[in-house]
Structure 1
């Protein structure tokens, strides 16, 4: 959307919403994209779906802000080489962000840094169950499944990660 190719963005977001009808970021971006295209009725419908999917717009915005804070703290600790403290920082937000797919993905990354493969797999599985468009989580799952001898699951995750639509909305476009 930032490049001004709104028709292409709308088409990609429509496919993303088809894959995951409850994808809060995709619904939000689709509504805004429709509004910028002058498609007011479609924008209203998409934003209504966004409100229903997120429980409320405020809840989603609060979770997004909370996630960014958790992620920033965890990243800072990880860059200092304190991977165990990084995981602890994320887990401090577990109760508030359990249903937030990006949080689950970030937990998976933190578990991977610590070599906790089973925990990482579980976190990535929760992430893609909530939002199948998370390419990074799908790709990590593919590698982890392959390493653990689960070839069929690895192939399925690779295919999900390779779908062009799986990249989802641009992170900069979400609130």
Structure 2
């Protein structure tokens, strides 16, 4: 039984992403915004398993998160697919400190990309309204999300990479 949980640890942790996404803990927020939780799991998974697996699980994450949110007209799928593919092209670094800071920078870039693609969908849909001052809070939310994602990524991603590498070992 212990071998089963150890080998399936990455998939079990995948289940917690929608839970944390819906839980939305306020004490981890900044300016009413949370970090972009899916990237914390997607970065280590794609770095270990490659860009095609990152793309596929980015699609799965997007479908799951779009199905649990109430907004049916905007999607998170394009950003997560692109981030999954991009994260898979990045290899693990041997230097401990550089790797930690790199996780934060990569997740910040991914969060900026996902947030910008989401805001672009909103702008495209509401382009004819003409009131672009209404979208300034969206830019503030993207910047706060980028900051928080980059702040928490070194802590969370390094633990997840260690956990994913441990679960990939062969147990005899």
Q: TM-score, normalised by structure 1?
A: 0.29
Q: TM-score, normalised by structure 2?
A: 0.29
